[in-house]
Amino acid sequence: MKELKEKILNEGVAIGTEIVKVDHFLNHMLDIGFLERIGAEFRKRFADSEVDKILTVEASGIAVACLTAPCFGYPPVVFAKKAKPSTMNDGFYEADARSFTKGTVSKFRVAEDLLKAGERVLIIDDFMAHGEASMALAEIVKQAGGTVVGIGAVIEKGFQGGSHKLREKGYTVESLAVIKEISDGNIIFE
């Protein structure tokens, strides 16, 4: 997506060789009009998919998922929690996801009554690196008896192999901007 690449180059900051900071429009301050166009682009990319629910993970995936939902006819947006809240007393689905950026492992949890067998689920995330978050979300959909119709990432760090790993498992992955390399403060796209 040309507009996304331009925003990354103009408003993003490369940190080292693996991190892109996009706080000014995606995950600290939100450019709502732009995120609506992101949602419309996901709709184009998954035009043949019927979607019953959109699944993401708290916190930075929520805005993208919410602004994608209208483009699919307003399916509910479900977000996995990274910590078990005191209100999650009944059953839940759970999967581990390692964050290479933060150096932590999170347990993603979704209450069992929020995902149902047979539902078609679109997974949306802001960033894809090693694919761990998407893999964990896909595992949760599988536990619920649903089907992953696709995985959409706003920005993918292609050099970290996440989409390749997910495609090898049979998932359709659409990334709106794929970064090939980060070098000397420069962001290079595929």
Q: Find out whether 128 and 156 touch, Cβ atoms under 8 Å.
A: yes
The model's pLDDT over 124-143, given as tens digits with 9 standing for 90+, comes to: 999 999 999 999 999 999 99
Task: Tell me which residue of 24, 15, 26, 102 sits closest to 59, measured CA to CA.
Answer: 26
DSSP element (H, E) containing 123: strand 120-128
Q: Which helix (H) or strand (E) holds 63?
A: helix 60-68
How high is the pLDDT of residue 75?
A: 98
Identify the DSSP state of 76: P
For residue range 56-108, list pLDDT tens digits in order.
998 889 999 999 999 999 999 999 998 766 676 778 999 999 876 677 888 99
pLDDT digits (tens, 9 = 90+) for 103-129: 788 899 999 999 999 999 999 999 999
Paired strand residues for 177: 155
Q: Is the pTM of this model over 0.95?
A: no
Mean pLDDT score across all residues of the chain: 92
Phi, psi of 109 (to 5 degrees): -135, 140
Q: Beta strand pairing status for 173-183 and 186-189?
A: antiparallel
What is the pLDDT averaged over residues 157-176? 96
Q: For residue 76, what are its two tokens?
A: 């509910």
> For 18-117, where are the E strands, in sequence order?
19-21, 53-57, 77-80, 92-99, 104-111
Q: What total of structural domains would you count in the chain? A: 1
The pLDDT, as a whole number, for residue 99 is 76
Tell me, what CATH number does 95's domain have? 3.40.50.2020
Domain that holds residue 175: 2-189
